[in-house]
Chains A and B, each alone.
Chain A
């Protein structure tokens, strides 16, 4: 059996921080509303096949562009498809695309940031030059160009969003690592003979997790926006699969006589992004009270 380490001089982040920030977060009404919204949206997306009244691609020829009614709560679109069902299924596309791309960006970006900040030297130089260059390119312009190069599809949208989201994670992680590595607990762990991976993953990573959690929720908000922007331009999910952005794009032509076609998918994007931003904002205030 491995003997347990005698002392860990890392600040007791987990115990100390979980109590107070959690309470601060729960006292923030806007943040709690955001979290509740997120929970509802996730459940709706998860159970879409059971909740949605119709198949999202089912066509009702007799109900083209009909306004909201008891049969179709959100109305129907230009091909007579039920908008409520399409919004529910669209939630699966938007949320999963955003989650997958941000998880990818998180893993790659954090690894790059840890390497740059911990190893320093030429590795740091190379990584940070590329990160700076990517941050100089406008987020959406780069995402559009990448999606165009890779070809329009949901998978390529996710790759494009993951690529443009990565540098922010790398930069934040590096900054935090640089600030932490001079702290005494790191030196103490080093003196005790902790290996590099142990030092990085057991000591540094938990201590910078606060900043990363905040960045993750804000990045998901940005990713939902980016995914819907790309599919609005026709670069994302291809029809007939429903996505909020492409629904809005199709609805544009019928704005005068079928505004509901625009309003419901638009509201869905807005509320989802708002929920992630509210939670991100609440987390930042809870973890770093000075930011208020």
Chain B
């Protein structure tokens, strides 16, 4: 198992290396000179030259990359252009909120997807199945900013049950924290719920057509037990993988969701950085989201290998 984990990590290294090249190279796309951008249009040429020198921008690009990469290796992501605070500190500050939001959204997604996917598969090609399919495709097609706006209109403006925005840390007031994150989590979770329900449906159909399910039926086990113990349990394995792969989408969705509900998370950090053209922060956020996606897919692979030993010897 440890051998598998090491092998899997080593296999990911080249890709991670290319990710760093891409994130570094992104800044080279920027039209014009970052130093001038930082100082504004009125800066004297001398000031620009000095800043270029102190930022190392007058060095050759490969050298700049190596230096940048070495800093990243020491967990030095640079500092924000806005107030000189450390990028890593900013990210570490905002990330927990987004992780909580994402977990909450995943929980909601699972609560919707499990029954929906199962019913769809068990009542294959019925009207219920068709309605659930249409509902799932609607969930996939609904832009989360529109869903968020609709939820705010209904629950915050019309019914006035939940405030539309605001954030209280979990440590301060857990109940208020969860209440305030409920609408954002639903906004974020509906898309995943729809995707997972679709996965579960096809995985369940596949499992239920297997021989061992027929054998279980033949042995006289009740229908419910066959579905739950033999069907669902086996059908869930690929769905769990899909669950892990949702994370990238969730991080992207969190950017929009946090913007709508004014949740002070990782996504807000990115949007704020984009508008102030805070390049080190943008780079840091993109890099950390890539690492997060890697980490989760690594953990999913480990879990998968733990469940199914054949994978380890692949």
Q: Could you list which residues of chain A lie within 8 angstroms of chain B, going by C-beta atoms?
A: 30, 129-130, 132-134, 136-142, 144-151, 221, 225, 228-229, 232-235, 245, 248, 251-252, 255-256, 259, 262, 266, 269-270, 273-274, 276-278, 281, 291-292
Shortest Cβ distance from residue B252 to the other chain A in the assembled complex, whole angstroms: 3
Q: Are A129 and B202 in contact (CB under 8 A)?
A: no
Q: Which of B13-42 contact A (CB under 8 A)?
A: 14-16, 18-19, 21-22, 26-27, 29-31
Q: List 24 A-B contacts (CB under 8 A).
A: A30-B130, A30-B134, A134-B22, A136-B16, A137-B286, A138-B248, A138-B290, A140-B256, A141-B252, A145-B26, A145-B274, A145-B282, A229-B256, A232-B256, A233-B255, A235-B274, A251-B149, A255-B149, A262-B146, A262-B149, A270-B138, A270-B143, A277-B137, A291-B202
Do residues A233 and B14 form an inter-chain contact, with CB atoms below 8 A?
Answer: no
**Residues of the B chain whose Cβ atoms lie less than 8 Å from the Cβ of A129:** 14-15, 18
Highest count of chain A CB atoms <10 Å: which of B21, B137, B249:
B137
Which residues on B sit within 8 Å (CB–CB) of A136?
Answer: 15-16, 19, 248, 290, 293-294
How far does the alpha carbon of A212 sit from the alpha carbon of B241 in the complex, in Å? 24
Per the bound structure, the CA–CA distance linking A266 and B152 in Å amounts to: 14
- A248 near B145 with CB under 8 A, answer yes
Contact of B31 among A138, A150, A248 (CB under 8 A): A150
A291 to B260, CA, bound (A): 36
Are A269 and B146 in contact (CB-based, < 8 A)?
Answer: yes
**What separation, in Å, do the CA atoms of A233 and B257 have in the docked complex?**
11
- B140 on the A face (CB < 8 A): yes
Across the interface, do B143 and A255 meet the contact criterion of CB distance under 8 Å?
no
Counting chain B residues whose Cβ lies within 8 A of the other chain, the interface size class is: 35 or more
- Determine which of A132, A144, A229, A256 lies in contact with B18 in the assembled complex, contact meaning CB atoms within 8 Å: A132
- A138 CB contact (under 8 Å) in B26, B142, B277, B293: B293
Assess whether A252 is in contact with B15, with CB atoms less than 8 Å apart: no
- The answer, yes or no, to whether B196 is at the interface (CB within 8 Å) is no
Residues in chain A near residue B205, CB distance under 8 A: 292
Chain B residues near A145: list those with CB within 8 A: 26, 270, 274, 282, 285-286
Q: Is B253 at the interface (CB under 8 A from chain A)? A: yes
Residue of chain B at shortest CB distance from A278: B137
Distance to closest chain A CB from B306 (angstroms): 23
Q: Are A277 and B140 in contact (CB under 8 A)?
A: yes
B61 at the interface (CB under 8 A from A): no
Q: State the CA gap A136–B149 with chains docked (Å).
A: 29
CB distance from A282 to the nearest CB of B (A): 10
Structural contact, A133 and B137, CB atoms closer than 8 A: no
Most buried by B among A144, A233, A251, A266: A144
Q: Which A residue sits closest to B278, measured CB to CB?
A: A148
Bound-state CA distance A259–B156 (Å) is 13
A256 in complex: contacting residue of B14, B29, B141, B157, CB < 8 Å: B157
